[in-house]
Structure 1
């Protein structure tokens, strides 16, 4: 299942993605994984239940999110 936040990303692209667990993930199973897809989009998913799918973002959306987190506006 794909949870679309950006433009369409194929199921195959998500299946082939190289997922990386966040280094900020806690010990209480509050973990997320991130992948940069071959299309250049970014994807994020919950490691506790990967069947829920992934949220996908365009490079510009991802950069805006990262900037907002870093500068404290989010």
Structure 2
């Protein structure tokens, strides 16, 4: 089981439609992700290196055009 150590937070860019993910730091330095509308659902956990690779790819628009 992934142990998170901080509060889950939602992006300030999230709308009120409820289609959001929340992120929290884990005890091992990674991140845990959950569905904001079903907070009791299973977590998706990322190791530190995997989370950093995801953030780098997202910032470089590797997944497609940015909405910002």
TM-score by shorter chain over 0.5: yes
| 3-state DSSP of counterpart to 1:56 | strand
| 3-state DSSP of counterpart to 1:50 | coil
Instruction: Provide runs of 4+ in structure 1 moved above 4 Å.
Output: none
Other-structure match for 1:33: 22
Which structure has more RCO (C-alpha within 8 Å, separation ≥ 6)? 1
Structure 1: state its 5+ residue gaps.
1-9
Taking structure 1 as the reference length, the TM-score comes to 0.72
Taking structure 2 as the reference length, the TM-score comes to 0.78
Q: How many residues align?
A: 63
Measured on the aligned residues, the alpha-carbon RMSD in Å equals 1.6
Using the TM superposition, give the Cα deviation of residue 51 of structure 1 relative to its aligned residue in structure 2, in angstroms: 2.0
Structure 2: state its 5+ residue gaps.
64-68
